[in-house]
Chain A
Amino acid sequence: MPTSEQETLWIRQAQQGNQEAFERLISAYYPSLIGLLYRFCGEATLAEDMAQEACLKAWLKLPVFDAQRGTFKAWLYRIALNLTTDALRCRRPESPLDELPVPAEEDTALDGEARLRAQAVRSAVLALPEACRAALILREYLDLSYKEIAAALDLPVGTVMSRLHYARTLLREQLRPWLEVTDEQQPS
């Protein structure tokens, strides 16, 4: 991860049209961006397409990026989440974005119980209401602070807190069998 000074410098250079600086800037967040979108939509191909679109859009909009309104990371995630939400809505205009179908082609590297567990976790996350799914992913997988999540989702911090709480409550219910297994595996 770049230091704050490095990031500020790269942003300024990229705002002036320096593609190399933009590449360095994006490199720091690209893998986590893919992870965020994959967990949000459940499709690796769509996640990658949307991550690329988000990078292009970020490049075009970078001259008007205002660091006073939030970090670059939160700004990039927000662009990507908005694009992905729009893409999912276009694809399934008649149905809500909650309870997306779970893809079956993933987890080729896993086997047995690990694969079943991954499938259960993924489907539980995808079954979360869209409103709290993004907040949960940003917190649990990307370690964003509440303030950064609020900036990424354009929400008050209090709403972020309640959405996270709701998402965790739902997940605990959905994943209770797996949590109990984890519990039993832990040394007493």
Chain B
Amino acid sequence: MNSSHPELDAYYDGEVSPQQRRAIAEHVHSCAVCQQELAERRRLSALLRTVPAPAPRLSVAQVRRRLPERALRAKQGLVFAPLALAFLSWSVLTALVRLADGVLSFLPFTFHGQPWLLSWLRPLLKLPFLQAIGQVLSLRGWIGWDEWAWLGFSLLWAAMSAGLLVLEWAWTRHQTQFA
């Protein structure tokens, strides 16, 4: 073993596994250099501990008197995240479908005059409930823009939802950070 290896420090500090401890102890027993290294570490520790630290001037009771009142604040989880995630999923889905549908409509791969890959999704998107959500999200029905506006607004909603997710995650992380 290299006598200046950090493992010798770990051994000295009692931070090795029982197996490592046995192996290193066996080695040290027969290695004069490592014995000297360990002895130096002991002397260094002893020397360091001869230096006193000052006693605190203030008592902990005095420190306590400086403590401000703190409103009880429970650990907070992510509040907006589920909503933002739902918006994000829907926005990304509608944007992807619209984009794929638009791209595929230019391609010759059609089946009975319809883009064949996503033709099964079209009836789904035309369900009254989903269409209503899609229209609300894209403001399509309200503004009356064409279908490409749907794509634009879906992407906008996706970006806003992702932004909200990131902001809340960052805030929660800041709150729960060590210091």
Binding site for B on A (CB under 8 A): 16-17, 19, 22-23, 26-27, 30-31, 34-35, 38-39, 44, 47-48, 51-52, 55-57, 59-61, 63-64, 66, 69-70, 75, 78-79, 82-83, 106-107, 109-110, 114, 117-118, 121-122, 125, 139-141, 145-146, 154, 161-162, 164-165, 168-169, 171-172, 175, 178-179, 182-183, 186
Contacts and interface: CB of A to CB of B under 8 A. Distances in A.
B68 A179 contact: no
Chain B: number of interface residues, binned into ranges: 35 or more
Most buried by B among A63, A66, A121: A63
B179 A30 contact: no
Given A52-B58, A75-B179, A146-B13, 8 more contacts: A17-B72, A31-B56, A38-B53, A110-B52, A162-B6, A165-B5, A168-B41, A179-B47
Given A64-B176, A146-B15, A172-B44, A59 B60 contact: no
Contact of B75 (A64, A110, A117): A64
Interface string B63-77: 110111011111100
Contacts, number: 133
A51 to B, nearest CB: 7
A30 B60 CA distance: 7
Contacts of A61: 179
- Chain A CB within 10 Å — which of B15, B72, B178 has the most? B178
A145 B14 CA distance: 9
Contacts of A125: 48
A183 B45 CA distance: 13
The secondary-structure label for the interface of chain A is: helix
A102 to B, nearest CB: 12
Contact of A168 (B9, B61, B179): B9
Contacts of A107: 52
A16 B49 contact: no
A61 B174 CA distance: 11
Contacts of A110: 52
Contacts of B71: 17
Contacts of A83: 179
B17 interface: no
B46 interface: yes
Contacts of B176: 64, 66
A31 to B, nearest CB: 6
Contacts of B64: 19, 22-23, 26
B54 A164 contact: no
A179 B55 contact: no
Contacts of B52: 107, 109-110, 118
A118 B10 contact: no
A78 B10 contact: no
B50 A161 contact: no
A165 B9 contact: yes
A137 to B, nearest CB: 9
B119 interface: no
- Which residue among A23, A79, A114, A125 has the maximum number of chain B CB atoms within 10 Å of its CB? A23
B63 A39 contact: no
Contacts of B74: 63
A92 to B, nearest CB: 21
Contacts of B10: 146, 161
A23 B60 CA distance: 7
